[in-house]
Structure 1
Amino acid sequence: MVSNETADEIQEYLGVVPSWIEALPDSAADHSWSVVRDLQLGETELTRREKALVAVGAGAAIQCPYCIHFHREEAKLEEVTEAELAEAFAVAGTVRNFSTVLHGAEIDHEEFEAETESIVDHINEQQAAAPGDD
């Protein structure tokens, strides 16, 4: 259970103290809210819109109906369109799909990193040579 001070703060931010906060053990409740407040709701390097898209994609990838519902609603608050949500789900699905392939095929991690570095170098070279970038 969260402290009274934290409960008041959550009430101010969200209008309610969600049941999932109440389900946390005392030793983690206040800290867990701090993470949500500072990382998800706070001003960070990512915009709230970007964080909502990351979160809804991650929720879909881990197949969490709670995360999908909450972060879809969060995305709507940030005016994310249905087309953008569909793309976020597709990107998350692609990452999950290829993670399965990479792990199942037991692709050598060092070789994968070297190939990725080569790909990045190639793309950087292409972008540097692209006309009209002056």
Structure 2
Amino acid sequence: MRKQEVYQEIEQTFGLVPSMFKEVPEPMLEHEWKLFRQIQLDKGPIPQKYRELIGLAISGVTKCRYCTFYHTEVARLFGATDEEIEAAAHYAKSSAGWSAYINGLQVDYETFCSEVKQACEHVRSSQRRAGKQASAETRTGLH
């Protein structure tokens, strides 16, 4: 595909050819556009709004202002609220902070993994018990 054909496809998608695509060397343009389209635009197993909130969180941690702006605006385009955007940024802050802390302290990795698995099993067990309790209350009419 020639450069102009790729540009035409990009313009049909966005209404313009963003300058970031004009910076891509011509031999790589078709490949980069195809990759961008597949990862950023095509439907996937994660709904678009949530993919953009993930992108926002990642860009907050990597401190890329371009990506932060892009993912925030596209998340809004797909229905993200200000509250969801704030929550994604806060989650990223928490995750990055804990990562720095436990890596800095060199917490034993095997112990950490074992404890996470143990905690998840505890939650699963609690959910099963709660489900059985709710089911029994529904059958007996107790609330």
**Number of aligned positions between the proteins:** 133
Cα distance between partner residues in 2 of 1:28 and 1:93? 35
Alignment partner, residue 132 of structure 1: 134
Distance 1:20 1:115, change over 3 A: same
* Bigger Cα Rg: 2
* TM-score normalised according to structure 1 size: 0.89
Which residue is equivalent to 2:91?
91
Aligned to 1:34: 34
Identical pairs, percent: 26
Q: Which residue in 2 is equivalent to 1:118? A: 118
Specify whether residues 99 and 25 from structure 1 end up closer, same or farther in structure 2 by C-alpha distance, changes over 3 A only. farther
Q: Which amino acid aligns with 1:123?
A: V
Cα offset for 1:92? Answer: 0.7
How many Å apart are 1:108 and its aligned residue?
Answer: 2.2
SS of aligned partner of 2:7: helix
Give the 3 Å change call, closer, same or farther, for CA 113–26 of structure 1 in structure 2: farther
Give ranges in structure 1 of 5+ residues lacking alignment: none
| Alignment partners' CA distance in 2, 1:94 and 1:25 | 38
Matches within 5 A, 1:60-75: 60-75=60-75
Greater per-residue helix proportion: 2
TM-score by length of 2: 0.84
